[in-house]
Structure 1
Amino acid sequence: MRRLFFTLMLLGSISTLFAQDKGHNIEFNIEGCKTGNVVLAYYYGNKQYIKDSTKVDNSGKFVFKNDEALDQGIYIVVLPPDNKYFEVIIDGDQQFSMNTKYDTPVKSMTVTGNEENARFYTYLQFLNGQKKKSEPLSAQIKELEAADSLGFRDSPEFKKIQVKLTDIDQEVKDYKNKFITDFPQALMSKVFLASKDPEVPDPPVAEDGTIDSTFTWRYFKNHYWDNVDFSDDRIIRTPVFHSKLERFMTKTIYQIPDSVIKEATLLVDKTLKSKELFKYTVFWITSYFETSKQMGMDAVFVHMAQNYYVTGQAFWADSTTVAKIGERAQKLSYSLIGNVAPNLIMNDTAGKIQILHAIPADYTIAYFWDPTCGHCKKVTPKVKEFYDKFKDELSVEVYGVNTNAKEHDEWIKYINENTLDWINVEDPEQKTAYKYLYDIYSTPVIYLLDKDKKMIAKRIGAEDLENFIRHHKKKSS
């Protein structure tokens, strides 16, 4: 039996699309189970949430009962004292019983009054049988590898074992396919289908004999969601949907903001038939890309926030949450990679006006720093070193903004002591709103602008400036 290590949390409102009027009454008899609290939880996305709890009596019996029906999906019964668990399918028939043994829950499971769970455990028992058949074969492969780590894959013995393992795997595939055919509306069928990857055909060969190297990826991407029933809320209460969603959004598609935004929009459109899938997909994509560490991906967050939250489609979020998300998106929208940087007009140390957009250099470093900041004192010398070395060769200028106007004298002192002979400016009255426009909440922060003052990099280290500029010059040439 598997062990459960997760944080059980309470979840807010969940769709009751599949709710039944007669409520639920599910009886359990677990031979060998100790007394204590037993928990009924359910999958939702990549987490599990508590739905109910009760007591196990001295004979291992307990009941989950309520006049309200359970939302359909895969649930987990967590047993005392070690949080061991087994799974239960909740479908439209919620009046049934399950009997098993604590030490062998799958092998010993019998179900009365629910065909879905009976079929589920017949399948799990079949899987256990397949596992027993494959384990000695896998052990034989390890023995072959230990004897000849380099050449064992070419041996006749290895090839024979591989054929047997392939046959075992095919038997599992055949079992699933027959199940899908026999019970197309069963939750297990929906899970089996959603778990399938698209079968990619051989790429077509052009008349000149060439093969499109991108065909396999494009076909896989374009058919990735073919087997998912986006009209079925139940799929969100299984472990399948989240892992498929995360894999698609982070590994299958190109991690370029425009590409991610395009695919996210197409995916959300697919979920419109299911409130729960729509809710989870929009929420997860928005949340994930808000905190992405990959530069430029905040554009995805801005897109999701402005197109689904601000427009009132995020029915699960209250007005306060929507307002905060909308405000954050609006703020970030000014500093997205590819946008023209907001113009800054500030006075330098001599009181002369310096206009960011008027700087004639091919590359401008907008450097926001505080003369009293410990981290700034480590980074500023690196920026200075880069500037002295490459200002002429790479046509670079620095527009250095003092973010701590209260330390004006310290700023002047640091500039003089360290010979910061770039453009040094400050805006003590915050007339330019630069902290808002450039999302400055800590220092130091480096933005890199091209000759047209478009943002090509942000929040990068001083040590990365040369590579970014050289790469950009090569790409632009």
Structure 2
Amino acid sequence: MKPKIVIIMLSLFMGLGSMHAMGQNTHFWDGIEAFDGPTDENPVLAAQLDFYFDKMVAPLPDSITPEIDRLIERASFNTDLRDFILWHLLEKYRHPEYMSQDQVFVWLYDHYFSKLEIKDLNAANLALIRDKAETFRRLAIFNLAPNFAINDSVDLHSVESEYTVLFFYDHDCDVCQQEMQELDSVCIAHPEITMLAIDMNTDDISVDALYDLYDIETTPLLYVLDGEKRIIAKKIRAKQIPLLLPSSLEGQP
């Protein structure tokens, strides 16, 4: 059963466009050594970077990071070009399309931003990058979800359930209400799931710490935890949750 779960989870990471183009990227950056264009603002180069890493590289950290290394090595003749690439990719993976790609941000910090002198990098923004990298590192897939309690009435790690869904929402948010309805339907169909719904639009100060603890920048936000309270999915939609469950695979070859 476990290999099937892995395959289903990979489907949440990978797009058909990337799968189609994978392996055809050998010569994409030919000629970059002759680059002499502007690097302060270069929408053409930015679009090329996005296309390459979205369509020509498998959207998994272990595939993305070696490609970044190769590209940075080829761009090392021009530090302005190198730094443009690094800043663009850092911002790209600060808001990743797929849930595991935040680890590319962590990797960029560990291998480049924490070690190199990079244009426009100073102590203040380096501290912000470091803090975000540590947040992403803490919330990586398969890590233990940080424990929390709300008014001493809910303690996450004491919840006994095969799966736990953390649902952070705002009661004034229409999208949140729609997602709540979808999530209710999922939980009814899958009684092995326990949902903890936390309203972030409240005067309860015990909720404030969750913004940093779970990297809550917008709502709604979902985390899916296994029975040991390890993160198995995050920042997905409610309708995707059944794809993670063995019960959804019953009867499949």
Give TM-score, length-normalised by structure 2. Answer: 0.71
Instruction: Return the letter of the residue paired with 1:401.
Output: I
Deviation per CA, 1:353-376: give whole Å up to 9, x if none: x43234343321011234454443
Change in 2 beyond 3 A, CA 1:372/1:240: closer
Change in 2 beyond 3 A, CA 1:217/1:299: closer
Hey, what does 2:105 align to over in structure 1?
301
Instruction: Give the Cα separation in 2 of the matches to 1:436 and 1:323.
Output: 15
Query: Is 1:273 matched up with 2:87?
Result: no
Query: Is 1:434 matched up with 2:234?
Result: no
Hey, what does 1:369 align to over in structure 2?
169
Range with bigger deviation, 250-259 or 271-280 = 271-280
Q: Give the length in aligned residue pairs.
A: 230
Deviation per CA, 1:324-368: give whole Å up to 9, x if none: 333333333333334332222445xxx54x432343433210112
Instruction: Give the Cα separation in 1 of the matches to 2:240 and 2:79.
Output: 44
Query: Is 1:406 matched up with 2:203?
Result: yes
Change in 2 beyond 3 A, CA 1:235/1:228: farther
Hey, what does 2:89 align to over in structure 1?
285
Hey, what does 2:36 align to over in structure 1?
234
Computing the radius of gyration over CA atoms, which structure comes out larger, 1 or 2? 1
Query: Is 1:450 matched up with 2:226?
Result: yes
Q: 2:183 aligns with which of 363, 373, 383?
A: 383
Instruction: Give the Cα separation in 2 of the matches to 1:222 and 1:445.
Output: 38
The alpha carbon displacement at 1:224 in A equals 4.5
SS of alignment partner, residue 448 of structure 1: strand
Instruction: Give the Cα separation in 2 of the matches to 1:217 and 1:466.
Output: 28
Instruction: Give the Cα separation in 1 of the matches to 2:108 and 2:75.
Output: 14
Hey, what does 1:41 align to over in structure 2?
none
Hey, what does 1:342 align to over in structure 2?
146
Instruction: Give the Cα separation in 2 of the matches to 1:472 and 1:267.
Output: 41
Higher strand share: 1
Instruction: Give the Cα separation in 1 of the matches to 2:164 and 2:233.
Output: 11
Instruction: Return the letter of the residue paired with 1:429.
Output: S
Residues 187 and 193 in structure 2, CA contact (< 8 A), matched pair in contact too = yes
SS of alignment partner, residue 272 of structure 1: coil
Give TM-score, length-normalised by structure 1. Answer: 0.41
Residues 233 and 276 in structure 1, CA contact (< 8 A), matched pair in contact too = no
Query: Is 1:321 matched up with 2:97?
Result: no
Hey, what does 2:135 align to over in structure 1?
331
Hey, what does 2:156 align to over in structure 1?
356
Residues 332 and 437 in structure 1, CA contact (< 8 A), matched pair in contact too = no
Deviation per CA, 1:43-84: give whole Å up to 9, x if none: xxxxxxxxxxxxxxxxxxxxxxxxxxxxxxxxxxxxxxxxxx
Percent of paired sites with the same residue: 23
Residues 221 and 252 in structure 1, CA contact (< 8 A), matched pair in contact too = yes
The alpha carbon displacement at 1:235 in A equals 6.1
SS of alignment partner, residue 446 of structure 1: strand
Higher helix share: 2
Instruction: Return the letter of the residue paired with 1:369.
Output: Y
Instruction: Give the Cα separation in 2 of the matches to 1:217 and 1:446.
Output: 30
Residues 447 and 457 in structure 1, CA contact (< 8 A), matched pair in contact too = yes
Structure-to-structure mapping, 1:25-424, within 5 angstroms? 218=23, 220-222=24-26, 224-225=28-29, 227-228=30-31, 230=33, 232=34, 234=36, 244-347=48-151, 352=153, 354-391=154-191, 395-406=192-203
The alpha carbon displacement at 1:223 in A equals 5.3
Instruction: Give the Cα separation in 2 of the matches to 1:289 and 1:309.
Output: 14
Instruction: Give the Cα separation in 2 of the matches to 1:360 and 1:371.
Output: 26
In structure 2, stretches of 5+ residues that fail to align are: 1-18
The alpha carbon displacement at 1:447 in A equals 0.9
Q: For the aligned residues, what is the CA RMSD?
A: 3.6
The alpha carbon displacement at 1:294 in A equals 3.2
Change in 2 beyond 3 A, CA 1:449/1:313: farther
Higher relative contact order (CA 8 A, sep 6+): 2
In structure 1, stretches of 5+ residues that fail to align are: 1-213, 408-427
